[in-house]
Structure 1
């Protein structure tokens, strides 16, 4: 059974255990080379315990290698510990071959138990790997972890390293001191040794590492020999006390003062370099919020917005009394991408809602790709929804109709170069996505736009506008297509978060470096243009994504892009599993693809123009029951969800792309049950396949047991779609009613306004808006004529206004549904 989601994070006091792994032998390993048997060795990888990969000795030229080597790991019992055992063939000339990978869940072993397993390495052959596991209680050792039931933050320490510039030996000035702490977040630091006086005479750096790990501090001056490398176990340092370490005297050359003309250079011993070390507990509060509830700022906003919505509904529906809080439905507007077409269409949609006095009834607006450009611009004005939209529409027209060559002049290209250099010096990871964001800014803004995502909070202080939510997807930069690996990432003015992990950071912290939920290197907040480039990053597509977009199928290519995975569940293991909780993962055997398949996979799945960002989940670990937690399973949708060692917390970076690669819609943020959606106004700005966004969302919701109405459209209406479709909730109070507005030109051909016919030739010409072909409003078309811009705005505005009665009736029904779910005094609607 799935575990209930936790609204907030909580502490768990958990025991530590000692895992002993004995790699015994392998049998019947096939010949790897023409002339000899394989030269086998085994690697052990257990990321929750160490970042290092531990290796056995190599047994040469044997099909039945015997190792009998033992390794030990200190594990946290409340963390999901899956050990990877990989069998390799060592090659002298070429790189070593990976033969098999086994993933074994340590949760299958009970405390005090020893099990011996002969893992099958080939379901159709005799190959096996024999391993023995022993799990013992680590007496007297416990750990306090913070978790939301899916991810875990463990206790962390910090090592401060300090060098006094005034005490650096002269012969070392200008050289580089290399410092490293294995298993740490930073791994390695380099200090350029230089002289200094006054207050600025200390050179410092930090290392963050898990308290229960046992890393070593290593230091040496670059260019010195191995005898001058200093290695110190960090556990020997006393917490909170400064320790001095002398870097061994470095031999240097010197001339003999008397016989320099006749004698060669000789060695002398120089004064050692003094390095100060200090370890301390990291007791600071996490900079990452763990939990599946809404943040406090959004809850406060909803309280204020509910009153605005209640007053607006009373006026527009002509109610005879004020609505109670529990009677106010949550109404959202969701949009699709589509470049300039989506940007232009959203202006028309919002203008239509404004003219019907419905904009104040909306609580959320979600956007993806091009529709986020409109949202970003509007939210620069804290009171935009309370004003007439003709001015921002005219401003958008000016930018859409101007030549885009202004974005590619030599001056602008030089500006882009300088901007990206400055950004890289600040510590950001720069990519083509950043360049694309700067180009968007040049095309649709006047000069440099200093607005940031967190600035949009000003538009929410009194609940005066709908809350904007933008969407992106976290994918793998290579080896996986978007269909196989995708994770929803939500951006709001308050927070940025990955939904399935319940991990959120403040919006101003996005781009900063994190480890174990703490900010280790804070960077200034990015300007909004860099996020616009991320949200509409259409250039990070790989060939697999393109194939899926064209054919809606990837099955043909899966033989090349997926390793062969077998679930190994033998009778002996099944018996053991009955004694364990249902969160135990099956043992998995991965047979890596051959060289040809790897080459093809690299071609099909690489993203040459992706955008990588510092991973704010870096270092966090998966809870032992993560796979059964309903917060996780609501959005689990990747090939690696049963491979915890390969999920996002283990990655160095996030690779965020346009969500249109999978579903060209922005539904997912609204699927969070905490947002309690009642009515969804869905606006699809695609030129073809008018129902794909809602149909794929329905498929997604069906798989994940989320409430979403049935999407039923007959064949005739697919060929000739109407302006609006109502998909009711079927009486389920948790299921929203969907009003879907495809981008069509139906009655707008005959009417310039609802009920007002077109009479003149010019009026009839204005009604001939072509939203079927790509010639006028294609995705890659960045410049429109003024006529085409205004026609598209008028069309999308009209399609809203012409369905006023359908919208109003849906709102009445939503209020009745809210009343019926909690009986109250009747109200006339």
Structure 2
């Protein structure tokens, strides 16, 4: 992969750099005024030290009993990499012999504050009221080791990996007769902080192990020989223990050692540490991948011809003059699916579908997209075929998808999926139910196969969006991250980490592919894109308040962010916020009930093991949701998690806007299709708040009281004072002039008036979100209404295209002159 200099285009690729490691020494001195007591005595306190960027290293002080002023005076050390964000976690526990130890306080400390070679004594205030303090000393010293080679996009950092091969060179007697059962020896190897962590095998059944771990890791391999019965009973006796410091192993050289075991002679291990290939399977870069950039060039040729016809231009457009148009489709279940068909039909009739470059959607909109992109020529064909297919299957009862035959088929498919190594969940079952409902069978289509629809630039690039949330510790309000799926790659907009769709679901560590699994069928991705099963009780409360909490929260955060600039986010140290604090066992249980996601979707985290760059928070492309509280602590962020928890993006914000504003995608005109029954502008206004919070150019959504009361078929929003902001055409789901006109300019006859009475918002409306069964009449009324609304706005669309074409023209001329 081509390296990028700091002066290069931001976010498009990675940098490679060499950086030395340092030795961090931490001395835990004492604490004062800790009035944490159990029922019968004062607290029995100890401190746990952990540095997530030094995986596998976790230290514990001695326990000081019955004291509010414990003195420890214990010293510990970590190897740290200066180019990553090193946040030390100091947790004070109250030891309890009966139940789980309680957490009294937890402190996060950014060790970049410690100057090399200078001893720093730090006093942490453990409570806002004061009086409770912890004293710690820090020292950072440079090591003489060779520098470590890093790969980074200034948000994520991939560090060097080593492979440790462990083989049994010679084994003596592996079993001894003992009564009726044979006694066996099991070898267990543990390398904390490695991808594998723990591996075990009965001697004689396996002869080799491999571990992948950060090369600069200051940890050790621990081996234990355990005695067990062949009937499966563990005797809980150890025949021997071995500890090997990894830094004592020379790269590329074999080391042979006898295992120090009693009553088990002849066990010999051979170890060899080697460097792993530095090439990454994860692409680090926030901008488009090379395949997308090549597609963009091909697509512009198609768009240029379509614009020349639609706008009746008297000359051909040069590539740099061609404006980029994107579709932004909201969610809304089957209602969104049907309406989107109508919008696409209208664009095709107007000759404008070929003017679109990007096509993004969430939730129910993705059902339409996934079906259409099964045909490489879909936008060039009559869409009545896909519409008839959808009408036929939506007319069937959803209960048919739960017939005994279907359930047996689902079970067999999920069983095969599990055998392939994939995790299975309710979201996977939902994906199969959707396939059965929408298509009558499970389709074999895969996301990577949709590249065939883009080979000649013949269709817009499809972009499917989901949200990654916390599995069981936070609600969606406080933590959510955009994940984008396209035929070229799947990845996080926030971190700039992407993989090919063929590898989604496979296992990664530090950017390298560890275990490749077969690519998932697209039905399982549809189960993710419209996954409504990973909600928790706190999320449900927000939903029941009809979004009012969301609005109040965003407004509060917006005001706070205006008062506090980003530079003041992270003080050098902080005590964990009360809503993050685990606290007592009772508090942990309550928190688990409120934030747990019992039906969460499981996908292997392809960012697992990657670390955060020391300057990640000040990077323009590191996109957060304004609150920033979780984002200020790397240990709370996704690279630390082994699995992803992906939900329907429409559950929290019903917009696919982030795909339109990715670095490198300069979209000039957005066609925003709304599928809400009652809030035609809410998602658009939320999208504006989100984008403005990121510093992204977004037209201001200003509405007159009349428009709020009675939306029109099309609303145009632009910002002449901000040329970088796209022009936006918003199409609410409304029944306005369609009541009186069967086609633009064609008034309905008396016999046709009934067809114009489409009930979109009433209590008896057939288009409610949970409805998955439509009569053919209701189906046709909805897509024809959407078709009409776009065609009735033809003049507005053409004028918007002329406007963005004029915006492009001066820039294109300047660019050609410069060249």
**Taking structure 2 as the reference length, what is the TM-score of the superposition?**
0.91
Aligned to 1:92: 97
- Relative to structure 1, the CA distance from residue 173 to residue 515 in structure 2 (aligned partners, 3 Å threshold; closer, same or farther) is farther
Instruction: Tell me which of 755, 771, 782 is aligned to 1:792.
Output: 782
- Relative to structure 1, the CA distance from residue 472 to residue 430 in structure 2 (aligned partners, 3 Å threshold; closer, same or farther) is same
Instruction: Tell me which of 39, 45, 56 is aligned to 1:51.
Output: 56
CA distance in 1, matches of 2:762, 2:534: 25
Q: Secondary structure at the match of 2:138?
A: strand
Instruction: Tell me which of 513, 520, 528 is aligned to 2:514.
Output: 520
Deviations 1:184-238 (A, max 9, x none): 111012336666xxxxxx7544211011113322334553522323333333444
CA distance in 1, matches of 2:210, 2:767: 53
Instruction: Tell me which of 212, 223, 228 is aligned to 1:208.
Output: 212
Aligned to 1:476: 470
CA distance in 1, matches of 2:137, 2:284: 36
Shift of 1:616: 0.5
- Relative to structure 1, the CA distance from residue 292 to residue 825 in structure 2 (aligned partners, 3 Å threshold; closer, same or farther) is closer
CA distance in 2, matches of 1:634, 1:133: 31
Shift of 1:553: 3.9
Shift of 1:121: 1.1
Shift of 1:405: 2.2
Deviations 1:533-586 (A, max 9, x none): 00000122223223323322448999xxxxxxxxxx9xxxxxxxxxxx999743
Deviations 1:409-456 (A, max 9, x none): 222222222222222232212111111111111111242311100000
Aligned to 1:491: 485
Deviations 1:698-750 (A, max 9, x none): 11112221100010112222221111100013252210011000111111111
Instruction: Tell me which of 415, 425, 429 is aligned to 1:421.
Output: 415
CA distance in 1, matches of 2:591, 2:794: 50
Deviations 1:239-286 (A, max 9, x none): 3344445555674xxxxxxxxxxxxxxxxxx66445543321002410
CA distance in 1, matches of 2:733, 2:552: 33
Q: Secondary structure at the match of 1:58?
A: coil
Given that 2:183 and 2:227 are in contact with CA atoms closer than 8 Å, whether structure 1 keeps it comes out as no
**Structure 1 residues 716-727: aligned runs within 5 Å:** 716-727=706-717
Given that 1:535 and 1:657 are in contact with CA atoms closer than 8 Å, whether structure 2 keeps it comes out as yes
Shift of 1:673: 3.1
Shift of 1:31: 4.0
Deviations 1:276-298 (A, max 9, x none): 43321002410000012210000
Aligned to 1:536: 530
Farther-moved stretch of structure 1 (139-148 vs 479-488): 139-148
CA distance in 2, matches of 1:144, 1:583: 30
Provide the alpha-carbon RMSD of the alignment: 2.7
Q: Secondary structure at the match of 2:141?
A: strand
Aligned to 1:462: 456
**Taking structure 1 as the reference length, what is the TM-score of the superposition?**
0.89
Q: Does 1:386 align with 2:398?
A: no
Instruction: Tell me which of 755, 774, 778 is aligned to 2:745.
Output: 755
Instruction: Tell me which of 352, 356, 361 is aligned to 1:358.
Output: 352
Aligned to 1:746: 736
Q: Does 1:226 align with 2:238?
A: yes
Q: Secondary structure at the match of 2:144?
A: strand
Q: Does 1:179 align with 2:184?
A: no
CA distance in 2, matches of 1:39, 1:191: 39
Aligned to 1:278: 272
Aligned to 1:235: 247
Q: Secondary structure at the match of 1:765?
A: helix
Aligned to 1:349: 343
CA distance in 2, matches of 1:116, 1:665: 49
Instruction: Tell me which of 475, 494, 497 is aligned to 1:500.
Output: 494
Q: Secondary structure at the match of 2:686?
A: helix
CA distance in 2, matches of 1:114, 1:723: 68
Q: Secondary structure at the match of 1:632?
A: coil
Q: Secondary structure at the match of 2:483?
A: strand
Q: Does 1:770 align with 2:745?
A: no
Shift of 1:398: 1.0
Given that 1:482 and 1:661 are in contact with CA atoms closer than 8 Å, whether structure 2 keeps it comes out as no
Aligned to 1:576: none
Instruction: Tell me which of 638, 641, 662 is aligned to 1:672.
Output: 662
Farther-moved stretch of structure 1 (124-133 vs 352-361): 124-133
**Structure 1 residues 309-708: aligned runs within 5 Å:** 309-551=303-545, 552-554=547-549, 585-590=571-576, 592=581, 598-633=588-623, 638-708=628-698
CA distance in 1, matches of 2:185, 2:707: 74
Q: Does 1:134 align with 2:123?
A: no
CA distance in 2, matches of 1:174, 1:522: 33
Q: Secondary structure at the match of 2:786?
A: helix
- Relative to structure 1, the CA distance from residue 615 to residue 330 in structure 2 (aligned partners, 3 Å threshold; closer, same or farther) is same
Shift of 1:141: 3.9
Farther-moved stretch of structure 1 (203-212 vs 15-24): 203-212
- Relative to structure 1, the CA distance from residue 732 to residue 600 in structure 2 (aligned partners, 3 Å threshold; closer, same or farther) is same
Paired residues, what number? 780
Aligned to 2:82: 77
Shift of 1:818: 1.1
Aligned to 2:560: none
Shift of 1:98: 0.6
Deviations 1:104-138 (A, max 9, x none): 11111111111111211122131110111111222
Given that 2:63 and 2:95 are in contact with CA atoms closer than 8 Å, whether structure 1 keeps it comes out as yes
CA distance in 2, matches of 1:250, 1:376: 62
Given that 2:286 and 2:663 are in contact with CA atoms closer than 8 Å, whether structure 1 keeps it comes out as no
Given that 2:186 and 2:201 are in contact with CA atoms closer than 8 Å, whether structure 1 keeps it comes out as yes
Q: Secondary structure at the match of 2:119?
A: strand
Farther-moved stretch of structure 1 (30-39 vs 171-180): 171-180
Given that 1:585 and 1:642 are in contact with CA atoms closer than 8 Å, whether structure 2 keeps it comes out as no
Given that 1:583 and 1:626 are in contact with CA atoms closer than 8 Å, whether structure 2 keeps it comes out as no
CA distance in 1, matches of 2:24, 2:246: 22
Instruction: Tell me which of 291, 296, 301 is aligned to 1:297.
Output: 291
Aligned to 1:102: 107
Given that 1:634 and 1:705 are in contact with CA atoms closer than 8 Å, whether structure 2 keeps it comes out as no
**Structure 1 unpaired stretches of 5+:** 196-201, 252-269, 559-568, 570-580
CA distance in 2, matches of 1:507, 1:175: 43
Deviations 1:50-91 (A, max 9, x none): 333211000111111111111111111111111111111111
- Relative to structure 1, the CA distance from residue 341 to residue 222 in structure 2 (aligned partners, 3 Å threshold; closer, same or farther) is farther
CA distance in 2, matches of 1:688, 1:488: 25
- Relative to structure 1, the CA distance from residue 535 to residue 250 in structure 2 (aligned partners, 3 Å threshold; closer, same or farther) is farther
Aligned to 1:148: 153
Q: Secondary structure at the match of 1:776?
A: coil
Given that 1:250 and 1:272 are in contact with CA atoms closer than 8 Å, whether structure 2 keeps it comes out as no
Q: Secondary structure at the match of 1:540?
A: coil
Given that 1:487 and 1:637 are in contact with CA atoms closer than 8 Å, whether structure 2 keeps it comes out as no
CA distance in 2, matches of 1:347, 1:147: 42
- Relative to structure 1, the CA distance from residue 582 to residue 766 in structure 2 (aligned partners, 3 Å threshold; closer, same or farther) is closer
- Relative to structure 1, the CA distance from residue 349 to residue 123 in structure 2 (aligned partners, 3 Å threshold; closer, same or farther) is same
Given that 2:307 and 2:355 are in contact with CA atoms closer than 8 Å, whether structure 1 keeps it comes out as yes
CA distance in 2, matches of 1:532, 1:438: 9
CA distance in 1, matches of 2:613, 2:223: 35
Farther-moved stretch of structure 1 (507-516 vs 418-427): 418-427
